[in-house]
Structure 1
């Protein structure tokens, strides 16, 4: 059996390395469009859900339309899923709109303790009524409600009007389900983080 020269071995190794690199890069190029399509689909789904959430909010509390129009920024989580039994968890994806244009996408997570059998979904809308509150949110590295800022949950009267004290707060929140606005809930401890989609 003839012994291979060091030059032959190094050329063979180089050829194998190039072949592996080609396969690796080919794999990258074939998976990238799928990933882009998936991200695009996710963005479209979030934005469609955000539009539907705002429409439902306007129907439930007509006075909210004026607040949304005056807000410096609107953060909308169309579907925040809450699941658990004794220890629960919440997760959802949403969009921040500034000047009626999509600026960035975010996720929200929260934990809770107490009896909560099953799973349920809710929508959350957060209005940044001042430029300062919006800027603090945008420049934060992980934003926690209660620690970084307080969100005043809107109190809606029987006539659909929003409590006058709530309207004057720098950050106003609405929480809705299929049954309408939820009263007496808290967003305390919810962590909101920017995500890349």
Structure 2
């Protein structure tokens, strides 16, 4: 039994290493910026309320593509930007790993809105922020094209998942760790 646990842990670390090394395959800055712009347009097209809501946000993290893959042990990775007043103020990675009943591969887009300056400041001052660990975070359950209730709109951080493609049915983004890309690779500047 102990050998299986060690094997499982080693496999998980290998998978996380593979997913984490995806940074070396990152899009160039121009490609990432173009993907973010396209993703924002798609997000706004899902519901007129999305653009209105974004206009009220202090900042918005946009991850055009987060890829999740696994066979029992799963990992996911994506890169995106933090927009403040429609301008890019930083580049970020989004990564996580899990053990469980996961089989397949999928891609999705994520938008995280910081609805208050305090929640944005808390995020930008962190050295790695975990989605869901912040008590003020809520995943908008109706989806990116759904309607919002008054209680949801009062939360300081709103998360949206959309554009899902692939074979994994998990829509959760909790547990993802978002980290500022400080050491810029030759591709992302």
Normalised-by-shorter TM-score class: 0.7 to 0.9
Deviation at 1:149, TM superposition (A): 4.8
Matched, 1:110 2:93: no
Higher RCO structure, 1 or 2 (CA under 8 Å, sep 6+):
2
Q: Which one has a bigger Cα radius of gyration?
A: 1
Give the secondary-structure state (helix, strand or coil) at the position aligned to 2:40: helix
The residue that corresponds to 1:174 in the other structure is: 160
Deviation at 1:148, TM superposition (A): 4.1
* Residues 1:187 and 1:101: Cα distance change in structure 2 (over 3 Å): same
Alignment partner for residue 70 of structure 1, among 32, 43, 56? 56
Give the secondary-structure state (helix, strand or coil) at the position aligned to 1:75: strand
If the length of structure 2 is used for normalisation, what is the TM-score?
0.74
Deviation at 1:52, TM superposition (A): 1.4
Separation (CA, whole Å) in 1 of partners of 2:170 and 2:159: 12
Structure in which a larger fraction of residues adopt helix: 1
Which structure 1 residue ranges, 4+ long, deviate > 6 Å from structure 2?
Answer: none
Separation (CA, whole Å) in 2 of partners of 1:155 and 1:147: 17
Query: Is the CA contact (8 Å cut-off) linking 1:83 and 1:119 kept in structure 2?
Result: yes
If the length of structure 1 is used for normalisation, what is the TM-score?
0.71
Structure in which a larger fraction of residues adopt strand: 2
Query: Is the CA contact (8 Å cut-off) linking 1:155 and 1:163 kept in structure 2?
Result: no
